[in-house]
Amino acid sequence: MAADKPARPSLRVVPPAEPDPAEQVRQRVRKMARPDGIVQCNRCGSRTLLTLVNGVFIENGRKTGGTVIEKDICADCYKRGIITSMLPALKPI
């Protein structure tokens, strides 16, 4: 019965493609030395933070209320649909 089935094509290893110009910039930024105290995304090298809050209202000229949906994530990765935490996870004592 095995002879009746058509043979599947063999898998082939494809060499990695050359990075496009935008990815070359990201790689260069990731390799740069970080100053002390600067938060930087490990995925894209961006230094912009984003906090998403739902249900905020203004009371006496100040924002109050709201539920924090995401906190301290990379804004550039979020624009591409990726949620990347910028802060390291704290380890329990």
C-alpha 54/C-alpha 72 separation (Å) is 15
Predicted local confidence at residue 41, as pLDDT: 86
**pTM of the entire structure?**
0.61
pLDDT computed for residue 53 by the predictor: 93
Residues whose CB is less than 8 angstroms from the CB of residue 72 and which lie 6 or more positions away in sequence, other chains included: 39, 49, 50, 51, 85, 86, 87
For 85, which DSSP code? B
Task: Tell me which of 64 and 7 has the higher pLDDT.
Answer: 64
Distance CA 24, CA 45 (A): 12
The domain ranges of the chain are: 48-87
CA dihedral 59, 63, 69, 75 (to 10 degrees): 160
